[in-house]
Each structure stands twice: as structure tokens, then as C-alpha cells.
Amino acid sequence: MASPNPLLQLPTLADDLGRVESQLRLSVQAEDPFLTEVASHLILAGGKRVRPAFAVTSAATRELAMGPASADIISGAVSVELVHLGSLYHDDVMDDATTRRTVESVNARWGNLKAILAGDYLLARASEIAASLGTEVAGLLAATIARLCEGQVLELQHTFDVARTEEAYLASIDGKTASLLATACRIGGIVADLPRTVIEQLTHFGHSYGMAFQIVDDILDVVATDEQLGKPSGHDLVEGVYTLPVIRVLASGGPDADRLGELLGRPIDGAELDEARAIVRSSGQVDAALAAARDHAHQAAAALADVADTEAGTALVAASDHLLETVRVAAGH
Ligand code: GRG
């Protein structure tokens, strides 16, 4: 598989991410030890911490060289990761997922009711921390939670829909993924009191990165093996979530589109799933979707032109370059 995200390897970021880790654990200490245990489960399981890293690194574009983040910047980073966690708790209930971050999912371990409540608890803690950073951050985080819900609803409205349009797909990933990555960068910029023009550029970066990130994730689900992903591949097709390369094959006309249309639109597994994936893989649409992801990643890098000479700006651009490397490896390009 591809190399790790270079941003997350940055030695200057390690101390700050360590502080994020400690505050994350503290933030879910409830009076009830059982609630603490359930709410800590996916924090302790790991995760890449891309969103906190984006918040801290965005804030650091203020100076040429990165220095330690302020306590408020760490809090901003924690609030964003808590929203991400809350969304994962709820998403796993909706998907009836059995694993997350390589461990048993919260719903599998404790049941749906407790997973939903613990997810709510994480969102409440995120809101409390955001409120301590001022009304702009609190309002932004609340609006972003709404965007996550909107994106997810848009996905649900089109499950098993072979007529799902590219526009509907893009609107969904904008809400469910890009909005939180954009907010991570924006909160870093707001809390560090950066000039408004830079805050807008950082937000643009996070949004474009998020679009590229989700398109890449969706391509990998079709083209990569179980071993490469570390989880069962083809999950989206099984769940009826038709993503960019699939939508494009379905819309392309001709025998492949017809055959794929016959296979999809209903639950699928075994030989039919293999056939559907083979049709998508052998079409030119994986490359076309890859080009769309590349476009977003280039837009992400271009958005940072004004801070490209800072250590933090360079690190953010390297993160978007790395995304494309991930998919090149899996797609065998
Ligand atoms: C109540 C906040 C809230 C949301 C409800 C369930 C839902 C609506 C939205 C789900 C959104 C969702 C799960 C989007 C996918 C986001 C995504 C790209 C997850 C994977 O992110 P990584 O790779 O994961 O950064 P780690 O585990 O490394 O943090």
C-alpha cells in the first residue's frame, strides 16, 4: 500500500498531536464510567487524526516555521475530531458495521441505542469546547454538523438508485466529507486570528482536499483488494451506494452500462459483485474519476499559493499530493 500521509509524520506536529490526544481522552470523561468507556472506544482505537492535524497546521501558516500551538488551537482541533467521531458512531449504526478503526464497532459491542447516545455525547462535548472558542467557531461547528447530516441524507435518498447523477453524488460528498475537512482548516485559521483572506484560502483547501479524499476513497472501494484496504472491498456496491466511477459507467451507454444496470439496483454479492467490479475496473471510468480527484487536489494546492512558502503551507500541499499517490498505487498506475 502507499506510504503514510507526510503531514502526519511531521516531527514539529508530533507534540501538538500528543496534546490533542490527551485532551480528547479528557473531554469524554463522564461521571458514569460506562459512558466514559463507550465514548472513549474509538478514540483509543486510533484513527489518523487528519482533521486535528489540518486544524493545527492551518493555524501554523501564520509563521514561516511551525511552533507549538496555543491551547485554544488544540481545543479547536479536538472539537473537530469529536464531531468526526460522533458521525462515525452514528454512521456505523446506520450501516450495521461490525468493525471500525480495526476494532469492534461501538454498535456491535454495545448495541445501537448505546452507540447513538454515546455519539450524541461526543457531539455535545464538541459543541461545549467550540463554545469556549467564541460564537463564530460554535456557529461554524453547528452548521457543519448540519452539513454532515444533509450529505448523509442525500446518500440515503439515492441508495440502489442506478439513475443517481454525478451532481447528486458530488453534493453528498460535499456535505458528508468535504464540509468537516474545510471546517477543520477554517477553525485553525479563525482561532489563530489569521487574515480573512487566508482563512478563506485555508477553507477552500480543506474543502477541495475533502472532495478529492472522498473520490479517492470511493475509487479504492471499487479497485483495491481486501488486503490493500484492510477491510472488505466492494462495500459501497453491496450497500447500494453508487459512486463516481460506477455512476459514470452507468451513464456511458453501451453493453457495459446495460449489463451493470442489470446487476445493480438491488442487493448484490458473490459472482455478481465480482462481475460488477470487473466491468467498472476495465472501463475507462476509473481513470476519469481519478482525473476528477486530481483536479480537486490541484485546486487544494493552488488555494494555498499565498502561504506556500511557510513550513505549514508546504506540509498541507504535500498532504494533497500524497492523496493522489495512494490511489495511483492501488489502481496500479
Ligand atoms: C450527527 C455528526 C452527525 C452526523 C450524522 C452519519 C452522518 C450523519 C454522517 C456520516 C458522515 C461520514 C461517516 C462520512 C465519511 C467520512 C470519512 C471520510 C470517514 C473516514 O475518515 P478517515 O479516513 O478516518 O479520516 P479515521 O478513522 O482515520 O479518522
Q: Distance (Å, rounded) from C-alpha 137 to C-alpha 75? A: 11
Give the domain range for residue 311: 6-331
Q: Which atom of ligand 1 is nearest to the CA of 100?
A: 27
pLDDT band at 226 (very low <50, low <70, confident <90, very high): confident
* Residue in 4, 61, 32 with CA at minimum distance from that of residue 201: 61
Check pLDDT > 70 for residue 224.
yes
Say if residues 18 and 70 touch (Cβ distance below 8 Å). Answer: no
Residue with cell 451513464: 251
pLDDT at 274: 95
Q: Which atom of ligand 1 is nearest to the CA of 119?
A: 1
Q: Which residues contact 87 (CB under 8 A, 6 or more apart)?
A: 119, 148, 176, 180
Quick: pLDDT tens for 93-107.
Answer: 999 999 999 899 999
pLDDT at 2: 59
Distances (CA, A) of 179 to 103, 187, 197, 203, 228: 26, 12, 19, 9, 27
Q: Which atom of ligand 1 is nearest to the CA of 213?
A: 18
Of 62 and 190, the one with more pLDDT: 190
Residue with cell 486544524: 55
pLDDT at 172: 98
pLDDT at 76: 98
Mutate to test the pocket of ligand 1, among 147, 150, 176, 229 (most ligand atoms within 8 A of CB): 176
Query: What are the residues facing 104 on neighbouring strands?
Result: 99
Q: Which atom of ligand 1 is nearest to the CA of 145?
A: 2
Mean pLDDT score across all residues of the chain? 95
CATH number of the domain at 140, please: 1.10.600.10
Check pLDDT > 90 for residue 327.
no
pLDDT at 225: 85
Quick: pLDDT tens for 293-306.
Answer: 999 999 999 999 99
Residue whose CA lies nearest to ligand 1 atom number 17: 177
- Mean pLDDT in residue range 175-198: 98
Residue with cell 469524554: 28
Whether 103 is in a domain gets the answer yes
Q: Which atom of ligand 1 is nearest to the CA of 49?
A: 29
pLDDT at 255: 95
Whether 325 is in a domain gets the answer yes
Question: CB under 6 Å to ligand 1: residues?
Answer: 47-48, 50, 83-84, 86-88, 90-91, 101, 123, 145, 148-149, 152, 176-177, 214, 217
The alpha carbon of 255 and the centre of ligand 1 are apart by a number of angstroms equal to 35
Q: What is the DSSP pairing of strand 99-100 with strand 103-104?
A: antiparallel
Of 26 and 229, the one with more pLDDT: 26
pLDDT band at 331 (very low <50, low <70, confident <90, very high): low
Q: Distance (Å, rounded) from C-alpha 90 to C-alpha 95? A: 9
pLDDT at 271: 96
Whether 1 is in a domain gets the answer no
Quick: pLDDT tens for 251-282.
Answer: 999 999 999 999 999 999 999 999 999 999 99
pLDDT at 188: 98
Of 329 and 223, the one with more pLDDT: 223
Highest mean pLDDT among 65-69, 125-129, 322-326: 125-129
pLDDT at 265: 98
Check pLDDT > 70 for residue 210.
yes
Check pLDDT > 60 for residue 333.
no
Say if residues 75 and 52 touch (Cβ distance below 8 Å). Answer: no
- Mean pLDDT in residue range 121-134: 98
The alpha carbon of 82 and the centre of ligand 1 are apart by a number of angstroms equal to 11
Whether 196 is in a domain gets the answer yes
Q: What is the DSSP letter of 283?
A: S
pLDDT at 326: 80
Check pLDDT > 60 for residue 18.
yes
Domain count, the chain: 1
The alpha carbon of 67 and the centre of ligand 1 are apart by a number of angstroms equal to 29
pLDDT band at 228 (very low <50, low <70, confident <90, very high): confident
Strands (E), 44-116: 99-100, 103-104
pLDDT at 261: 98
Mutate to test the pocket of ligand 1, among 42, 141, 152, 229 (most ligand atoms within 8 A of CB): 152
Residue whose CA lies nearest to ligand 1 atom number 23: 48
The alpha carbon of 88 and the centre of ligand 1 are apart by a number of angstroms equal to 5
pLDDT band at 324 (very low <50, low <70, confident <90, very high): confident
